[in-house]
Amino acid sequence: MEELKLNMDAFLPLRDVVFNTLRDAILKGELEPGERLMEIHLANKLGVSRTPIREAIRMLENEGLAVTVPRKGAQVAKMTEKDLEDVLEIRDALDGLAVECACSRMTEDDFKALEHAMEVFLDATKHGEVRAIVEADEEFHNVIYKSTKNPKLMNIVANIKEQMYRYRYEYIKGNNDFSHIVDEHEKILDGLRRQDVKFVKEIMHTHLDNQISGVKDLIRRQNGQEK
């Protein structure tokens, strides 16, 4: 908390600047699970009023990064295996539907966008910056969802994506070798080109399963439990 500084961005509303600053602090472990998010203290620390702090905390709650505890106020949310399983169970079902739609609707432009997203992800892994890798991985999957040509589905995914961000971030942060993710992306692209719904669903499911296993290990270590 002592090193917490506002990451100013002239193009964003103040609440978003505060939100990004607090989110980064949580994801990097500068604000630890269970730590209280006191509006007055944070406002003084960041040199802003309490209003953008309050709005930012609400946004953190939407992402599952903060919770409000009765009589205690807001605090950094602890990761639990149940929350992880619930979120990724929904994502698994949405991935299945997206694959069914994308296999019959993807255009050549969609495939070019997916290939470009693969290249960006590979480049990001070479530099090792966690946020860039996470965002590149998200964009790869976003291309698939966009190619379904189903705005309703994309809106639902956007909502669940916020709740997945922390788990995806922790999974990437805990990895030193991204070759298996690159391999999975290549197989997904190949399967989509062949319009092999069953194959792509299986790879997407494996993709999520690996994430669940990796983050579960982290949660258990944080709780002092055996694997």
pLDDT (tens digit per residue) in 111-162: 999 999 999 999 999 998 999 999 999 999 999 999 999 999 999 998 888 7
CA dist., res. 124 & res. 131, Å (int): 9
Say whether both 54 and 142 belong to one domain.
no
The domain that holds 193 is classified in CATH as: 1.20.120.530
pLDDT tens digits for range 44-98: 999 999 999 999 999 999 888 999 999 889 999 988 899 899 999 999 999 999 9
Of 42, 59, 76, the residue at which a domain comes to its end is 76
Say whether both 68 and 169 belong to one domain.
no
> What is the four-CA torsion angle of 117, 123, 126, 131, rounded to 10 degrees?
-60
Of 60, 76, 92, the residue at which a domain comes to its end is 76
Say whether both 26 and 103 belong to one domain.
no
CA dist., res. 198 & res. 186, Å (int): 16
* 206 in a structural domain: yes
142: nearest Cα among 163, 108, 171, 113: 113
User: What is the count of structural domains for the chain?
Assistant: 2
Say whether both 133 and 157 belong to one domain.
yes
| DSSP letter assigned to residue 36 | B
Using an 8 Å Cβ cutoff, are 18 and 56 in contact? yes
Q: The pTM is what?
A: 0.81
Question: What does the pLDDT read at residue 3?
Answer: 61
Of 61, 76, 91, the residue at which a domain comes to its end is 76
* 4 in a structural domain: no
Average pLDDT in the 169-175 region? 89
Domain that holds residue 214: 81-222
